[in-house]
Every structure is written in C-alpha cells, then in structure tokens.
Structure 1
Amino acid sequence: MAEVAAGAPRVRRRGRTTLLIATAAVLGLVAGTCAGYLVQADREPTELPYLSQPVVKQAKGDGPEPLSAAQDRKVKVDGDLRRLLVKRPKGTQASKYLTGKDGWMDVADYSESFKKPDVGFKNLVQDEFRRAAVTGWQRGSTYSVEIRLVQYRQEEGIGASDEFDNSLFWAEKDSGTDSWSIPGTGDGMAYVHADPDTRPGYLPLYEAEAHAYRGDIAMEIWVYDSKPIPKKTIMDLAERQMGRL
C-alpha cells in the first residue's frame, strides 16, 4: 500500500489567477495612461528645474556591515537545498519510493510526478525550473510522508508563486476537503482530504497536503495513511519546514 501512496501522481495545470491579475494590471495601466494624457492636455506647461543641483556630501564611515552567511537568505538557498529539508523523525524509516537520486530531483524526475509527464516537462521548462530537493519517510506499512522544495530561476517569471497558485487550485477541487492557513507563510495552506481513495484489494488511502512558497522556492508536503490524517500532523510539518526557509 505504501508504494501506491508514495507514487500517487497529481494533475498539474498552469494556474489562472496570475494570468487574470496580470491582464487586469495591464488594462489598468493603459486606462491610467490615457487619463494622464487628457489631464496634461489642459494644463499650462510646467517650468523645469535647473539641471545643476547642489552636491550632496558623502556620508562618513564604511557603511553597514555585510550580512553573515547565516543571515543572508540568498547564500542559504543557493547552497545545498537538501540541508533545508526537515529531518526525518526518530522511529521512522527512509522512504523506499522517492523519485530522484541522493535527495535531488531533476526536471525529468519531477515531471514524472504528473499524470501527463510530457505536459509537465514542458511547463517546468517554461517556468524556469532550476532544481528540487526531496525527502520522505515511512512508519509501519501504511503511513508515509514526502516533502519537496522546488526552486525556480525566476529570470523571466515567478515560477514558485505560479506553482503555488496551481497547487492550491487543484487541492481545493477535491470534495470533502478541510483547509487552514499556515501561520507565518502569507498565503500558505494545508489541506486534509476526508474522502479516501478506495480501490478493490487495497486499504483506503487518506491524503493530506500543504503548499507554500518563499522567494524562488515552492514547498510541497504530502502525507498518506490508511486512516484519517489529523490536522495537527500536516500543520506541524508545514510550519517546521517553512521555518527552515
């Protein structure tokens, strides 16, 4: 049963929220520009200031001290991303079903978690996927956890935010789902799906998930069990993981 849980693929589709907001922003900008031209057309010309300005003296001293490696988030997230993953709890076993190698997932590995890997691969390339770190564990034969930190280059877009919006869209599509905000994460959300996946010959499969992002990193947490998953389980995991970012 654990194999079915850990490998359960998810439908991934590009979110629509970001596109709608971007479109509204463009329309607002055009409307504001037109109004500005109309106002300026009725005004007297404004006298421009002189080009020569007083010289501002440079402040004394060497300026603020640079941030240490521990304080500089850029240094932290550009290092070994696996070190930012929460540690496996005592009394659990390392998951046998994680995709990737040595805690890393490349774009091909990550696209395999989609129901349509070819579509997922194209979306990841478009979203400027950089790398993903993954960890997971099992307890007994039915309980399993998988946590991913997915990092994007974000040179042309906002991949982590887009992926976050997409994840929430699909999480909220499932019926019988309870949800809660994750403290300290802005828009981060945790979900417990009350309706299990039932298939002949298998125990019922319950699922919980959590999604949040910070900067260029999107966090994904999945919890599976043969019995209902408490809110505390998914919330604790999400808060601890985001606390490390």
Structure 2
Amino acid sequence: MEVAERPPRRRRRTAALLTGAAVLGVVAGTCTGYVVQARRPPTRLPSLSQPALKQATGEPEPLTAVQDRQVRTDGDLRKLLLKKPRGARDADFVQGDGWMDVADYAETYDRPAGAFGDLLGAEFRRAAVTAWQAGRTRTVEIRLIQYRQEENLEARDAAENAQTWAERGGARSRPVPGTGTGRAYVHPHPETRAGYLPQYTAEAHAWRGDIVMEMWITDTKPVSKAEIVGLATRQMERL
C-alpha cells in the first residue's frame, strides 16, 4: 500500500497572503483617512512672521583678569605659583629668577639631550618654578610648564606621561579635586643612598589649558595623601 506524500507546508505562501491583506488594509485605511480629512474645515496656520528682537547697544564689557583665564596665563607665570609659606626658606637647589627655559627644563630629565629635542617638538613655550624648605628635612618643588599647543594638546600629553611614570613602583594615588584627570601620588617606600637619610616622596601631576603642573614633596618621614592632594588643589585653583 502506497503512502500518500504529505502535502508541502505553505507557511511562506500564507505569510505572503497575510502580507497582501495587511497592505490592502493599510491602503483602505489611508483612503478613509484622506476622505475624513477632506471633509474637515481647513486649520488656520500660525503666522510665519515673528516680532523683531531688540538689539543691544554699546560694546560688551571686557572680562577682568580674574574672569579671563588667558589674561592670567599669558602674563607672568611665576605669579601663578603658590607663595612660600610663612617660616619656610628658599630651597638652595633652585637657581635664578624662577624662570626655566627649554635647556634648563631639559636638564631635569635623566637624558637631557633627548629631552631637549622632544620639548622643542612639543612646542615648549616656557616654565616657572618655585621651591622651599620647611623644617629641617621637608622640601617642596612646584613647576608650571606652558606649551604653545598650535598642533596638539601637548600639556595633556605631558601630564599623562608624567602620571604613567609616577604610577610605577606601587605608588598610591588619589584624584586632585577640580582638575578632571589630575592625580597625586604617595610612594610607600623611601629612596635610599649611602650616606644619606631615606627620602620619602609624594608627587602630583595635572594640566589645565596649555599649562602642566608638576609638584614634589620630599621628607625623611612619609608624606600623607592629604598633604600632597591639598597642596596640589590649591595650586591648580590659581590656574
């Protein structure tokens, strides 16, 4: 006895029929909508004309130096550095009048010759530095480095590069409030050299506009996070 073949399923065709019915339904609904809309009275459109706005007279007042950041940063960069606290004395390792040219700043790197070329390529503009000694063992150094930034955001790149180096060795870090990406670092282990007391270090790196802020605190005893964060915050508030 032969078994009759099962008729093929027609899901595709059924779907096509349903689709056709849906299309017809849409067309019918659209036609009905047009008929209903045609019987309605026309709706008055709002006027395209608008009342004339009153123009301001006179010239706008220029921003003050406090309001205009560029006025501050294009002036004497040294005035933006934190002032030496009462009772502290100038650090003897900072020479000159507080300015650093590209050669001076390159000398702060492990490889000055290579750093000199890199700084020129990065559109180094100028740098200002201050440093003081508090008590018998604590020193603080702050630098503000300014870039021209005609091509790239060199200040941001320089700060991020410094942060990368600071993170090595297991340093504990905290953000510097109000700076976005600025961070302060406390190194848990002191640097030791024969004939010298151990030196604990904390540092901070941040940037704003075309200026990078670099800060170090060194002491023979550990430096707290609150100290470096607080000092870095105060310095960045001046930029």
Shared fold (TM-score, shorter chain, > 0.5): yes
Identity of counterpart residues, as a percentage? Answer: 55
Please list the CA deviations of residues 44-72 of structure 1 after superposition, one character each: whole Å capped at 9, or x if unmatched.
Answer: xxxxxxxxxxxx98934235422122311
| Count of residue pairs brought into register by the alignment | 188
* CA displacement at 1:159 relative to structure 2: 1.3
One-letter code aligned to 1:114? Y
* CA displacement at 1:102 relative to structure 2: 0.2
Please list the CA deviations of residues 154-197 of structure 1 after superposition, one character each: whole Å capped at 9, or x if unmatched.
Answer: 1112111110110011011122x110001111011000001111
Please list the CA deviations of residues 210-245 of structure 1 after superposition, one character each: whole Å capped at 9, or x if unmatched.
Answer: 011100000000111111111121111101100111
Say whether 1:153 aligns with 2:148. yes
Partner of 2:169: 174
Q: How does 1:207-218 map to 2 (within 5 A)?
A: 207-218=201-212
One-letter code aligned to 2:179? T
One-letter code aligned to 1:188? G
- SS of structure 1 residue aligned to 2:190: strand
Partner of 1:193: 187
Deviates more, 1:229-238 or 1:208-217: 229-238
Let me know the Cα RMSD of the aligned residues.
Answer: 1.6
Please list the CA deviations of residues 77-125 of structure 1 after superposition, one character each: whole Å capped at 9, or x if unmatched.
Answer: 00000000000001111111015x2000000000000000011111100
Per the normalisation by structure 2, the TM-score is 0.75
In structure 2, list runs of 5 or more residues that go unmatched.
Answer: 1-51
* CA displacement at 1:201 relative to structure 2: 1.5
Distance 1:207 1:63, change over 3 A: same
- SS of structure 1 residue aligned to 2:223: coil
Measure, in 2, the Cα distance between the counterparts of 1:235 and 1:96.
25
Runs of 4+ aligned residues of structure 1 deviating over 4 Å after TM superposition are none
Measure, in 2, the Cα distance between the counterparts of 1:68 and 1:226.
44
One-letter code aligned to 2:188? A
Measure, in 2, the Cα distance between the counterparts of 1:218 and 1:104.
15
